[in-house]
Every structure is written in C-alpha cells, then in structure tokens.
Chain A
Amino acid sequence: MAELVGAFAASHGPLIVREWDNVPPEQKTRMTAGFRELGRRLMAAKTDVLIVVSPDHWSNFFLDNYPALCIGVGEVNEGPPEPWMKAFPHREIAGHAGLGRHIAQSALDAGFEPAVSHRLKLDHGICIPLWRMELERLPRVMPILLNSIEPPMPSLERCYQWGTLLRRAIESYREPVRIAILGTGGLSHSIGEKTMGAIYEDFDHETIRHFGGAPERLIDFLNETLAKHGNGSEEVRNWLVAHGAAGGRGFELVDYVPTPKVIVGCGFASWRV
C-alpha cells in the first residue's frame, strides 16, 4: 500500500528567479537554507511521488474555463512555459497516472468534483520550489492546480478537506509508493494591485501561529483576514491542503523570511505526518 511520508510548504514567486542576484545576502542565505532543508527532508523520506499543490498562473487555464481544482493524471507533464524559467533543467517531468486517477476517483466517490488533465504545463509555482530544493533526483510529480488566482475561489474549509481526502486516497492506493505533499505559494504578497510589493509580516506571524493551533480557528482567522492582506496571500490554500493531509497537526515552521526584493513573505514549513 502507498504511504504518506511527508507534507511540506514553500513559497514561490517569479522574482525568486528574476531578482535572485539582487537579494541581500542574509535573506538569500536563509531562503536557500529553507528550500534546501525541505529538499533534504523530502529525499530523507525516500519520496517516490511528490504531489505539488499550486495555483495555475495563467499557464494552462483562462477565463474560458478556469477549474477550481484540477488533478494532473498524465504520465508526463511539461516544464515551465515562462521564458525566464528557461534555465530550469527539466522540460518534461514524469507524473504518476495511476495515482492521479485513483485520487480523482476517490474524490468523486467522496462528493468532490475535480477537473482532470492529462498534460499540464508546470509553471514557476511548482518549478521554483523544486529547483531551489536542489534535489539529487526529481521524484515523480503529480500536480494539483488549485485556484487561488481568479475569483471565485474554493473556500478555505474546502481546501483543508481536500487535504483530508488526499490522505485517505493515498492510504487506500494499492501500489507500494512513498508519497509526499508540497503546498506552494504564500505567505503574504500582493501582485498587480495597488498594494503591490507589500508584505504583511504581522499577519504572516499570526497565520503561522494559528497553524500550530486548532484547524477551525486557523480557518476562521483566515476567513476574517485573508482578503485584506494582498491577493498573493490567497495561496495559503495550498498550505491548508498540506495541513489537512497532516490531520491539522504537527506543523513546524522551518523559517519565515520576509524578502522585499522578491516581494514575498517567504515561508518554509514541514508537518509530522
């Protein structure tokens, strides 16, 4: 049977690549260490398949059809389409079709209605963390694209429930594979709106504190505050999926590095699963 062997979260953001050379040394050192530590834990857990939960930044979906959640069920997905991600070393990334189909079916059986895709472009949201983790070898990557970019978005409660569902689906998968989950994005940032560049450190610290408490309180807190702290903060949904998969327990902050040069309150986290 399959096993959940890890749950992690890490920020992403285009400027982590485009402005990397201009990030002040102390912040660069801590961000590098944060990504590497997650990579180290991922490898130490002997992860065969990494489920990465991230938004689609207008790479696959458009206003014609923007799913709330799409499971990548393909054998292979494409590397990042962004021109400034050209140096990312993988143009194709192996998926896990069997696990993808099993999760999609498990979701439908439980009253969830995901979209599915047999070939996705994995944009910077997925590939920046994979890149910066400096993995010796890339595990298979099963993408889940969760909308935190274009309203209306799934409720925070539902994102947490997706995590619970993923855990159950993983543990009922018959293949002997070791599976980890990585939620990417957040913490606070603001993109393309009047407050662009703002990082809300107090809000981030409060969010982090709530990840250590009761899940209901965390969700209540976020429901009350999220909309006032930058549109990029909506990506905390992906952290909620990881949190749900971990049963709402065992959160550990690896580091929090608010980094104005990349305009993101960069967070790195791991859960005991």
Chain B
Amino acid sequence: MMRDYWLSKLFFDLQQPALAAEFRADRDAVLARYPLDERVKQAIAEHDAPFLAERTNAYLLRYYFFAVGMKDDEFVRRLNG
C-alpha cells in the first residue's frame, strides 16, 4: 500500500468547495503549492485514475474525481482502463 502524501493532501484539501472551484478554474496555480512529482502532475492532467489509485486512498481518489466534476461511470471506466 503506497501513499503519496502530497497527492493525498491535495485530494483531502480539495474537499473544501472554495479550493475545488479554484482548482477547476486554474489547476496549475493550485498544483504549484504542492510538492508533487512531475509524473504525478501529468497523471492528474491526464485523469490517469489507475496511476493515482496506486498512490492514495480509494475514498480520497473518488472525492477528487467528484470534485473535478467527473461522473462516477466515467471515473470507474477510467479506473479499469
């Protein structure tokens, strides 16, 4: 069970509606505040759910895709992609 602390922290923080709105408007500005690996940032940009799933808690992952407005069907499709 691997945990990327800062990726998980980002997902945890995005439970705040104001931050989620800022993230949707200017993702890079929010990402710049978290010391994330480039590969992780790329996975976020590409909605690479399997890559992210290996690095965080499943509930946080689901919260994240909900916060960025992805429907559950699409999230599960990507997770199994």
B76 in contact (CB, < 8 A) = yes
Decide if A192 touches B3 in the complex (CB within 8 Å): no
Count A-B pairs with CB separation below 8 Å: 48
Decide if B58 touches A62 in the complex (CB within 8 Å): no
List the B side residues contacting A193 at CB < 8 Å.
53, 58, 79
Residue of B nearest to A61 (CB): B12
Nearest Cβ in chain B — how far from A196, in angstroms? Answer: 5
Decide if B5 touches A194 in the complex (CB within 8 Å): no
List the B side residues contacting A231 at CB < 8 Å.
58-59
Decide if A192 touches B58 in the complex (CB within 8 Å): yes
A contacts with B, residue count (CB < 8 A)? 18
Interface of chain A residues 178 through 196 with chain B (CB within 8 A): 191-194, 196
Decide if B57 touches A150 in the complex (CB within 8 Å): yes
A176 in contact (CB, < 8 A) = no
- The size class of the interface chain B forms with chain A is 20 to 34
Decide if B79 touches A58 in the complex (CB within 8 Å): no
Q: List 21 A-B contacts (CB under 8 A).
A: A58-B15, A58-B59, A58-B60, A59-B15, A62-B8, A62-B9, A63-B3, A81-B15, A83-B17, A149-B57, A149-B59, A192-B53, A192-B61, A192-B62, A192-B63, A193-B53, A194-B79, A194-B80, A196-B62, A196-B72, A196-B79
Chain A interface residues toward B at CB < 8 A: 57-59, 62-63, 81-83, 149-151, 191-194, 196-197, 231
Chain B interface residues toward A at CB < 8 A: 1, 3, 5, 8-9, 12, 15, 17, 53, 57-63, 72, 75-76, 79-80
